Amino acid sequence: MDYQTIFETYCVAADSQAAAKMSKYMRDMFPFLGIPTPKRRELSKPFLTLAKKEPAINWTFIDKCWEKEREFQYLALDYLAVLAKLLGPEDISRLKKLATTKSWWDTIDCLDRIVGGIALNFPKVNSVLIEWSTDSNFWLRRIAIDHQLMRKEKTNTALLEQIILNNFGQTEFFINKAIGWSLREYSKTNPVWVQTFITTHRDKMTNLSIKEASKYL
């Protein structure tokens, strides 16, 4: 796979003024090229169309993306999304490394869907997500909490409940927000289950989690 071409294409499209604003929005934690999302997707489309034909995940490409500006991490995540069918339990350790490197909500909220897709296809991965739900790294906890987003009727409610219970008593905003988000999303499919969960555990839930979870009830 000729990933050097897309790297060069991104660099040509760089805008230093936009980059400064984008970096500031992300609390100056990561350098940016300054490519807005619509433009980035336009530039990536030909590359990702070809990538869909690849017989295997090119982890060297992903690792190189993780060494560069933030847009390259987005590119790597888009690449993983289009090749999701090739991912399996053997890739979880690599995804864990991505989740715990240059971590912030923008990459984590893409990785949770990718990891969630693997877990749906390979239920034995559920045990890993239970482990992550008590990890000292709260980004791994967030992935565990939200990995079932959009599953609707395929949601494993016993797993969802166990993971959320493992995260009660946390003061981290991104954890309590994630709890509310996971429940809010599932309430679109099963509002009775979510309402019962809130009623049962209200005294252990933060106001933020309850507010988020109750949005559609």
Give residue 201's pLDDT: 98
Question: Helices 3-12 & 37-51, crossing angle to 10 degrees?
Answer: 170
Give residue 68's pLDDT: 98
pLDDT, tens digit, 9 for 90 and up, residues 67-83: 999 999 999 999 999 99
Could you give the percent of the chain with pLDDT greater than 90?
99
**Beta carbons of 188 and 149 less than 8 angstroms apart:** no
Q: Where are the alpha helices (DSSP H) in 52-172?
A: 59-65, 70-82, 92-99, 105-121, 126-132, 138-146, 157-165
**Residue 52 tokens, joined:** 């869909």
pLDDT, tens digit, 9 for 90 and up, residues 119-176: 999 999 999 999 999 999 999 999 999 999 999 999 999 999 999 999 999 999 999 9
- What is residue 87's three-state secondary structure? coil
pLDDT for residue 195 is more than 70: yes
Place of tokens 């060494």: 67
Q: Which amino acid is at 128?
A: V
pLDDT confidence bin for 2, thresholds 50/70/90 = confident
Rounded to whole angstroms, the maximal C-alpha distance in the chain is 55
Rg, Å, the chain Cα set = 18
**Residue 25 tokens, joined:** 């929005």
DSSP per position, 9-62: HHHHT--HHHHHHHHHHTTT-S------HHHHHHHHHHHHHHHTT-SS--HHHH
Q: What is the mean pLDDT of residues 90-109?
A: 98
pLDDT, tens digit, 9 for 90 and up, residues 28-60: 999 999 999 999 999 999 999 999 999 999 999
Give the predicted TM-score (pTM) of the model.
0.96
pLDDT for residue 1 is more than 70: no
Give residue 103's pLDDT: 98
When the pLDDT of each residue in the chain is averaged and rounded to a whole number, the result is 97
Give the single-character DSSP code of 152: G
